[in-house]
Chains A and B, each alone.
Chain A
């Protein structure tokens, strides 16, 4: 195992994060605050509590997920896309590193950054609402697994994309709608029956539901199902990455 190599990738990626710390932390914090002001206070004051949870509080897990998903994907995809774009990837590919080690470095760094952002959002939220976390261990587990799974997913997108448009495409047309329609701002039983069924096809619903359960002990779908779904997604990503590296996908001709 080339520990120094993994460390080198990780440190280099984190250095890039630190250089862009302001925009990478300020923007999610700012948008979270805006959501709180608009949905939590302005609109939320007119909405009754959802499942016994005050609306401002109810949207916290969804807001965190919104940021975690988009941040994980954009960090990880950019992290691998950029060296591919500049050509500096040659060095990583000619280094004594296994694919697992390369992923560990890149995805580890992207997941770390998401974790930091998630924590900051949580702290920001604590200023607006009276936070309570019913199952802290589960909360942290969901947080970790989500960061890792979606960083892996971002890594896949970064490997697949061969131009900047493609890099933006998936997050923009797939992830954002899925997250918004995934129950970030509402409970799915607030929807008409037909749309409730359609919504169940959205994997993000399970993620947000499970995460919200770890906070408030209330869920749209069973927790077991949430755990199964997110684990399944993680394994799917692992499988795809494994296949990509086995075949040298767009990295080795």
Chain B
């Protein structure tokens, strides 16, 4: 995926102020590229669902513009909505509806004529083939979520929104979900998902955006993001344990591991100088003998926690 890939969704200066005066979105600018998987991370109440709901037509924007495949979501709502499928965060189901009927309904609502073959095939791919004639009430939570995915895909959309697809889903089903997403990507569907699970974003997304307090703090390719914000740790194993760090190392961000056998150095990969050479020299001068070296890259989780924490500080500073 290159940055030249055309944007299928373009969001400019999007703000949303709810009727009670709460500002849930504070000027979001975002381009979603065709065919990518974009993960939106953010703490509870960040505005992820509000953002998705606005694009899908469930929430009226206060200001700003959103276009989908070049069409405005207000003026050309029919054209934009036909392209979009939405799996909501809440498990909203009609308890007495038969599975195949409810999926058929979805297809019709989006203006497509009946196609039982497509729907049977879709339900089969979602491992619901044997549940087609059950009523929703008889399904487990994970099955209900898959029916909601089937409903969202019933009209063969080009864009799929998954609002926390794996919340409250067991490990196995989560893997299933990831497979489904991967399969859809191969079919060329653009996928925007929200999640609280960093490993999920790390596992399946091409790009990751972090939202907090109604603002998009950062959005970038997963790998770029990790190297840009990534802190690395250098773990230096000592030949013989040392009871305390020599004074000469005070200028470095170093710690002694609890078993006193390793010196751990944290550095920023973005920095001009990592300071590794100087550290090694200082260690040498202090008479510590090295046995082995290893580095550990911080995970997306650490990056995320850092970002949100610093946003909270600045946010409170302003208020």
B171 within 8 A of A: no
Chain A nearest CB from B50 CB (Å) reads 9
Residues of B within 8 A of A90 (CB): 58, 86, 88, 92
- Check if A97 sits within 8 Å of B109, measured CB to CB: yes
Find A93's partner among B58, B79, B111 (CB 8 Å cutoff): B58
A23 within 8 A of B: no
- Check if B92 sits within 8 Å of A87, measured CB to CB: yes
Residues of A within 8 A of B18 (CB): 253
Chain A nearest CB from B79 CB (Å) reads 8
- Check if B59 sits within 8 Å of A252, measured CB to CB: yes
| Interface positions of B from 175 to 201, Cβ below 8 Å from A | none
Chain B nearest CB from A8 CB (Å) reads 3
Interface residues in A, total, Cβ within 8 A: 27
Contact with A along B52-64 (1 / 0, CB 8 A): 0000111110000
Interface residues in B, total, Cβ within 8 A: 33
Residues of A within 8 A of B107 (CB): 8
- Check if A96 sits within 8 Å of B81, measured CB to CB: yes
Find B110's partner among A15, A88, A96, A248 (CB 8 Å cutoff): A96
- Check if B111 sits within 8 Å of A87, measured CB to CB: no
Query: CA–CA, A205 to B186, complex, Å?
Result: 65
B84 within 8 A of A: yes
Query: CA–CA, A252 to B19, complex, Å?
Result: 11
| Interface positions of A from 1 to 24, Cβ below 8 Å from B | 2-5, 7-9, 11-12, 15, 19
- Check if A15 sits within 8 Å of B101, measured CB to CB: yes
B94 within 8 A of A: yes
A47 within 8 A of B: no
Contact with B along A114-144 (1 / 0, CB 8 A): 0000000000000000000000000000000
Chain A nearest CB from B68 CB (Å) reads 12
With contact pairs A95-B81, A96-B81, A252-B60 given, residues A87 and B109 touching in the complex (Cβ less than 8 Å): no
Residues of A within 8 A of B82 (CB): 96
B113 within 8 A of A: yes
Query: CA–CA, A8 to B107, complex, Å?
Result: 8
| Interface positions of B from 186 to 225, Cβ below 8 Å from A | none
Contact with A along B73-103 (1 / 0, CB 8 A): 0000111011010101010111110000100
Residues of A within 8 A of B110 (CB): 5, 95-96
Residues of B within 8 A of A86 (CB): 92-95
With contact pairs A88-B92, A96-B82 given, residues A5 and B60 touching in the complex (Cβ less than 8 Å): no
- Check if A94 sits within 8 Å of B94, measured CB to CB: no
B299 within 8 A of A: no
Nearest-CB residue, chain A, relative to B110: A95
Nearest-CB residue, chain B, relative to A10: B108
B151 within 8 A of A: yes
Most buried by B among A15, A83, A91: A91
B309 within 8 A of A: no
A195 within 8 A of B: no
Query: CA–CA, A93 to B79, complex, Å?
Result: 14
Query: CA–CA, A129 to B18, complex, Å?
Result: 60
B269 within 8 A of A: no
- Check if A8 sits within 8 Å of B57, measured CB to CB: no
A92 within 8 A of B: yes
- Check if B56 sits within 8 Å of A4, measured CB to CB: no
B105 within 8 A of A: yes
- Check if A2 sits within 8 Å of B58, measured CB to CB: no
Nearest-CB residue, chain A, relative to B106: A91
| Interface positions of B from 9 to 67, Cβ below 8 Å from A | 18-19, 56-60
Residues of A within 8 A of B19 (CB): 253
Query: CA–CA, A95 to B80, complex, Å?
Result: 10
- Check if A91 sits within 8 Å of B151, measured CB to CB: yes
B112 within 8 A of A: yes
Residues of B within 8 A of A8 (CB): 104-105, 107-109
Query: CA–CA, A15 to B96, complex, Å?
Result: 11
Query: CA–CA, A94 to B160, complex, Å?
Result: 13
Chain A nearest CB from B90 CB (Å) reads 6
A82 within 8 A of B: yes
- Check if A94 sits within 8 Å of B93, measured CB to CB: no
Chain B nearest CB from A16 CB (Å) reads 8
- Check if B101 sits within 8 Å of A94, measured CB to CB: no
Most buried by A among B59, B92, B96: B92
Query: CA–CA, A91 to B90, complex, Å?
Result: 12
- Check if B108 sits within 8 Å of A11, measured CB to CB: yes
Residues of A within 8 A of B90 (CB): 87
With contact pairs A12-B105, A82-B94 given, residues A94 and B111 touching in the complex (Cβ less than 8 Å): no
Query: CA–CA, A90 to B49, complex, Å?
Result: 13
Query: CA–CA, A87 to B136, complex, Å?
Result: 14
Most buried by A among B18, B81, B82: B81
- Check if A96 sits within 8 Å of B60, measured CB to CB: no
Q: List 11 A-B contacts (CB under 8 A).
A: A2-B111, A4-B108, A5-B110, A15-B101, A87-B88, A88-B94, A91-B105, A91-B106, A92-B109, A94-B58, A253-B19
Apart from A86-B94, A96-B78, A252-B59, list 11 A-B contacts with CB within 8 A. Answer: A2-B78, A5-B111, A8-B109, A86-B93, A87-B92, A90-B88, A91-B105, A91-B151, A93-B58, A94-B56, A248-B60
9 smallest beta-carbon distances between A and B, as pairs: A8-B108, A87-B92, A96-B78, A95-B109, A96-B81, A94-B56, A2-B111, A4-B111, A12-B105
